A and B are shown apart, each in its own frame.
With several copies, the nearest count.
Chain A
Amino acid sequence: MVDLRVELAGIKLSNPTVLASGILGDNAALLRRAAKTGFGAVTTKSFTIEPREGYATPIIAEVKAGLLNAVGLANPGYKEIKDILPKARVNGVPIIVSLAGSKIDEFVEMAIYAEDWGADIVELNLSCPHVSMMGMDIGHDPAFVANLVGELTGVIETPVFIKIGLTDNYMEVVSRALDKGAAGITAINTVKAMAINIYAKTPVLSHRYGGLSGPAIHPIATRVIYDIYREFKPPIIGIGGVEAWEDAVEFLLAGATAIGIGTAVSKHGLTISKVVSDGIRTYLEREGFESVRDIIGYVHRK
């Protein structure tokens, strides 16, 4: 029997699948359900200091190669972590708390709170492509990210992951964050995009711009994971268009330690985690590996 367990900065996962942030994740019942259904870890929706309504519908546009979303970081505000986390915890499945803010102070306040209420990992959303002054707008600045990570690792002991998107300088951002003590990298977030309805003659999303996810971004994510592993070999949660176990294996070989799943939850339901981890198991058996850890970053060994 092959071993599917992986560790993310000391946090033990029974298998490498992770529910990606923003997918069903601002509600304790849903996180709990995801954890029970087989995810190795679950990530909360990104919390902000104040509750956010999010954007008006349409917040979703289906496109040929994936999905656009502009949810607008809808969340009940970080104070809810206190109610959500204890209820969400089940079977020892680790909970990754995602945070989004525009200032270092905000992140510090939220991170301490998340740690107090039991977050296993704090993930900094530095890459949401559709909310101004947050996410991508701050995450592409290496100096800001370095300061932010430095501050946070000074005040909390919980491992800090930064979640990056597709920018020109992600390698510099990652390098600076790791230098300052980031425990790992989550890559990638959605890519800024737009869909126009040709009969309505207007962008579909109420926010006009949205983040592209799904199969469309999978080869881009593979590249980013490959780059980061090659250079820094940190723990990586690889995310982007994973909708079958083969996609997950591709990320593992490129260097991901764990595999985030988002959009595919809509197509296949939460059981996608089981399908993916079973597929990884069969692959490992057939290819003669004893542990999933044996294939992490494998393509770099050749």
Chain B
Amino acid sequence: MSYRVGRVKGVYAHTSLLKSLTIELEDDLNIIPGQFLMVWLPGYEEIPLSPSYADQNIVRLTVKGVGETTKRLISLDTGDRIYVRGPYGRGFDLDKPGKYLLAGGGYGAAPIIYSAYKLSKLGNQAVYVEGAKSIKEQLFIDEARKLGLEAILVTEDGSSGIKGLITDYIKQIIGEFDILLGCGPEPMLIKLLNMCIESGVDCQLSFERVVKCGIGICGSCVLGDRGLLVCYDGPVFNKERLMDLSFKEVV
């Protein structure tokens, strides 16, 4: 059988539409930060999600209710079943030496905080920056601090931390870093990419496209005019790959 069956062990509501589900699987799963799972709720669709934490048979999913399936997901209760296949795709390469700047926007902070766990285990230096609409939607600032990282919140409405867009803040500090890991809305990613090109900082960015098969066969997740596949070649792409693309669609 291709699906692993998990049980919801706990639900943490960041807001009414943004929740973290801790899932217990029957067997251990080895997921690299940035890789994704295909998550199926029978009767609903199957969707890609990048865990915000994973260890042995525990996976934490941080989900924003944007449509039918994600809304159903965030309404799950402890004990409910959840079906996952994967992990799929390429995650972040955390073995590169240097000082890391971690940038997560919205639920895009999920694979970023998971990267923070791994980086702190590896003993790499990292600063965590999270962008959110307001303090209410802030996700992992406390967690990042508990990991011993400097953690900076940037809110659009200034309700906490630095006011503004995460990209504006990052522009100011990027020069101090060797490598940037980013995940979030596509306009944010494009800005980050351009910044990194200008400043000569290395980067790895996680992109979204509509993922249907998850295994590089249906073509639905194609990104850019070189035919990159988000589910197979990504979702995390490095700077060299991204520089090759023309992002007319979004810029």
> Which residues on A are within 8 Å of B, measured CB to CB?
22-34, 45, 54, 56-63, 67, 69, 71, 74, 197-200, 202, 204, 206, 246, 262-263, 265-266, 269
Closest CB pairs A-B (n = 8): A29-B227, A62-B2, A33-B227, A200-B42, A24-B219, A57-B46, A30-B227, A266-B217
B92 within 8 A of A: no
8 pairs, A vs B, C-beta closer than 8 Å:
A24-B218, A29-B222, A30-B227, A34-B227, A59-B212, A62-B215, A200-B40, A200-B83
Asked if residues B216 and A269 are in contact (CB atoms below 8 Å), the reply is yes
Q: How many interface residues does chain B have, given as a range?
A: 20 to 34
Closest residue of B by beta carbon distance from A202? B42
How many A-B contacts are there with CB distance less than 8 Å?
A: 96
* Known contacts A199-B81, A202-B43, A206-B45, then 7 further A-B pairs from the complex at CB < 8 Å, ordered by chain A residue: A56-B45, A59-B213, A197-B42, A200-B42, A202-B42, A246-B1, A266-B216
CB contact under 8 A between A24 and B42, given known A29-B222, A32-B227: no
CB contact under 8 A between A25 and B219, given known A30-B227, A206-B45: yes
In the bound complex, what is the Cα–Cα distance between A263 and B217 (angstroms)? 7
Of residues 27 through 52 on chain B, the ones whose CB sits less than 8 Å from some CB of chain A are 38, 40, 42-43, 45-47
Cβ contact of A60, chosen from B5, B83, B215, cutoff 8 A: B215
Asked if residues A60 and B217 are in contact (CB atoms below 8 Å), the reply is yes
Asked if residues A199 and B47 are in contact (CB atoms below 8 Å), the reply is no
Asked if residues B2 and A61 are in contact (CB atoms below 8 Å), the reply is yes
Closest residue of B by beta carbon distance from A263? B217
CB contact under 8 A between A197 and B1, given known A24-B217, A56-B45, A62-B85: yes
Across the interface, which residues of B come within 8 angstroms of A263, CB to CB?
217
Across the interface, which residues of A come within 8 angstroms of B215, CB to CB?
60, 62, 266
